[in-house]
Chains A and B, each alone.
Chain A
């Protein structure tokens, strides 16, 4: 199938002209700045298949303890002063190459210093929201790199070992889950950019649910690599083990999950009746602000609505029934779309059923088991709202229903709700996109970012990689690069 990426900006926003060797720069100066800065960071990080040099990070236990770099690398890493210029979403996009390289390194060079700097009062609510979202963003980036590596290996294996094809639906589901996690995180980041106070409950939902889902994705990747016959000494398995060790060492996930859950419990009363809230708050204004928050990678306009706090988590939650209604108005004769509408309606119904226990749950604390369960369900529904909202505003692959259908089917199962009768399996379409991205050197992210280092294309069955300090799945040939030298660099000589 033709590889597609998140669609181009609308006709009212002129895209930068394309240039050979240049990645797509998006819809304006801010987007171009973000994309180019991320590319420059990738250049400075170097080829992951080369042995570590003086400037190349070693994504190992030493990487976790590495002090922040100086010089060119230090200058390209965003600091608190960059938040206003790049936006919270932009800062995370710039950091993605670092997160893909290694979770430990990402925490040492970005998450800890930046979240610490943003914790102060001068950073404002938006800065604090960004600080809280760096952990989930780093996790999504690292897992995306590992998924890219594993998917490329399975894609190549399937050509000579047909049995490897049984893992394609598993990896397709993991891809859908990661896109969902990144959608939720990115929507929370955009909300921090678009509103004065950010959306603390949405940030809390990301901190709570992203580590859970990413943990399950990483477990799947370990299973696939093991069942594909890769021993514990293979670079891909070692990279996953390093990622697991980095998660434990950072201690970020349990703390974020507990804190996120406590915040969600406190926010439960305010999340009641999201569909009705959209009507009471001035539907048109709220609708505009809500849809803007789902336009990932696009420059936001000045906050709309009545000023500070114009967009709330409840508005984002309201996107679930609103998106289900808008989908139902479409007249496409697409079985995948029809299936997505059914699942979206089912989830909107689940959201309505959670309204009743809210008044009681609002008076309880984090120790209350019923409140914990409600918060868990609410977080999953916010994840679903983010998936639907992003899908509705995107073009290309993200704008098609298959990934959302797969992600929402899994959300429905996690909620324990009955699924509508299945009419088609979207995993094939999602796997085709994932496999295509690994062949074309495109990242597994929601932006469809081009990867600078695209791997050597050598056999996946080669020995443990070059040991070139690869992190948890750079997606550019960690391990799969075998004994050869550097990965192929996109764009030839220059950037």
Chain B
């Protein structure tokens, strides 16, 4: 089971030409869509695009001054993917869009505040972009081979309740659950626009009867958030956090999607426990998550 077939799972788009139909359909149906791809799939098209300079816009100086070539290319491609994804759901030309950044680093589409929210994550070769019209959205991606030590990090990452639950799990299940929790918290804090300023240990999650992640805070504001985790390309955990401001509830967004994906996420942890992937046994160093 890969998780990529589940309703609400990220959709693969292999290049600027798309196809984008499924992305647009998903956006029309539930008010948001998450796209995944790799920079290798987009690289040639992006660099050969005569409109790249216009497409990068104000990001161009940052692209030119990125010190490492690989980072520069990943930066350029990730911005191109963001614009193409937003353009597809808005039905406009990518070059007409202008990506801005809030003081906390969150990307926004200039002139579309309150109408369309964006999030970007990339790790290794993977690029993930989320667009939402219902409210703030955040995504995070981690390679399943990433080793994050529960023992070393629980004080910084977990609330006391989470640490207690994790400690009670068998070791093989604990690692998968901890990594999933990490990506959920990363996605949530990105959606809040707080990024690294928000301590993970101040954000509490728990699991409902269906294995769905929910915020431990049971306030009405907290209940407006939904969370999903999927396994992408058999190698990456991708978590999504979104808040529905209510506009798309009738269309089946928010909780409905989270419910189905919650079941898939439980299966994701089973999959990680049983077979984390062919690279798990190679001893490769932990993958680095590149913050957008």
Contact = CB atoms under 8 A, between A and B. Distances in A.
Interface of A: 170, 173, 212, 216, 219, 223, 226-227, 232, 241, 244, 248, 253-254, 257-258, 261, 368-377, 410, 413-418
Interface string B110-136: 111110000000000000000000000
Given A223-B194, A223-B198, A413-B103, 19 more contacts: A170-B197, A216-B104, A219-B194, A223-B192, A226-B198, A227-B199, A232-B217, A258-B114, A368-B96, A369-B96, A369-B112, A370-B98, A373-B97, A373-B98, A376-B100, A376-B111, A376-B113, A416-B57, A418-B61
Interface residues of B, number: 31
Given A212-B113, A254-B114, A372-B111, A223 B101 contact: no
Contacts of B149: none
Contacts of A241: 219, 221
Given A223-B198, A257-B114, A244 B61 contact: no
Interface string B93-108: 1001110111110000
A216 B202 CA distance: 20
Given A227-B198, A369-B92, A370-B96, A232 B113 contact: no
A223 B197 contact: yes
B103 A226 contact: no
Contacts of B199: 227
Interface in B235-267: 245
A409 to B, nearest CB: 10
Nearest to B199: A227
A261 B111 contact: yes
21 contacts: A173-B103, A216-B102, A219-B192, A219-B193, A223-B197, A223-B198, A226-B198, A232-B219, A253-B114, A368-B96, A369-B93, A369-B112, A370-B96, A372-B111, A373-B110, A376-B110, A410-B103, A413-B101, A414-B102, A414-B103, A416-B100
A216 B114 contact: no
A170 B103 CA distance: 10
A223 B198 CA distance: 7
Contacts of A372: 110-112
Contacts of B245: 248
Contacts, number: 76
B58 interface: yes
A216 B103 contact: yes
A418 B114 CA distance: 26
A414 B110 CA distance: 10
Contacts of A223: 192, 194, 197-198
Contacts of A418: 61
A373 B192 CA distance: 23
A216 B193 CA distance: 9
Q: Is the interface of A mostly helix, strand, loop or mixed?
A: helix
B47 interface: no
A369 B112 CA distance: 8
B257 to A, nearest CB: 22
B167 interface: no
B101 A416 contact: yes
B90 interface: yes
Given A223-B198, A241-B221, A375 B100 contact: no
A410 B100 CA distance: 13
A368 B194 CA distance: 30
A258 B111 CA distance: 10
B180 to A, nearest CB: 23
A257 B198 CA distance: 28
B58 A417 contact: yes
Contacts of B58: 415-417
Contact of A369 (B97, B193, B197, B219): B97
A370 B90 CA distance: 13
A170 B195 CA distance: 14
Contacts of B219: 232, 241
Contacts of B101: 413-414, 416
Contacts of B102: 216, 414
Given A244-B221, A372-B111, A414 B193 contact: no
B171 to A, nearest CB: 31
Which of B58, B61, B113, B114 gathers the greatest number of chain A CB atoms within 10 Å? Answer: B113
A136 B97 CA distance: 27
A414 B100 contact: yes
B186 to A, nearest CB: 16
Contacts of A369: 90, 92-93, 96-98, 111-112
Contacts of B92: 369
Nearest to A224: B197
B77 to A, nearest CB: 19
Contacts of A410: 103
Interface in B172-205: 192-194, 197-199, 202
B29 to A, nearest CB: 22
Nearest to A258: B114
Contacts of B96: 368-370, 373
Contacts of A226: 198, 202
Which of B103, B192, B194 gathers the greatest number of chain A CB atoms within 10 Å? Answer: B103
Nearest to B246: A248
A173 B102 CA distance: 13
Nearest to A367: B92
A376 B113 CA distance: 10
A50 to B, nearest CB: 27
Contacts of B198: 223, 226-227
Contacts of A417: 58
Nearest to B203: A226
A258 B192 CA distance: 22
A225 to B, nearest CB: 10
Instruction: Give me the 8 closest cross-chain CB pairs, A-B, nearest first.
Output: A372-B111, A416-B58, A373-B98, A369-B96, A373-B110, A376-B111, A373-B111, A376-B110
A369 B102 CA distance: 19
Contacts of A227: 197-199, 202
Nearest to A409: B103
Given A219-B193, A219-B194, A377 B110 contact: yes
Contacts of B217: 232
B61 A375 contact: no
Contacts of A376: 98, 100, 110-111, 113
B107 to A, nearest CB: 11
A223 B101 CA distance: 19
A374 B110 CA distance: 9
B106 to A, nearest CB: 9
A369 B61 CA distance: 22
Contacts of A374: 111
Which of B97, B111, B245 gathers the greatest number of chain A CB atoms within 10 Å? Answer: B111
Nearest to B222: A232
Nearest to A410: B103
A68 B114 CA distance: 30
A44 to B, nearest CB: 32
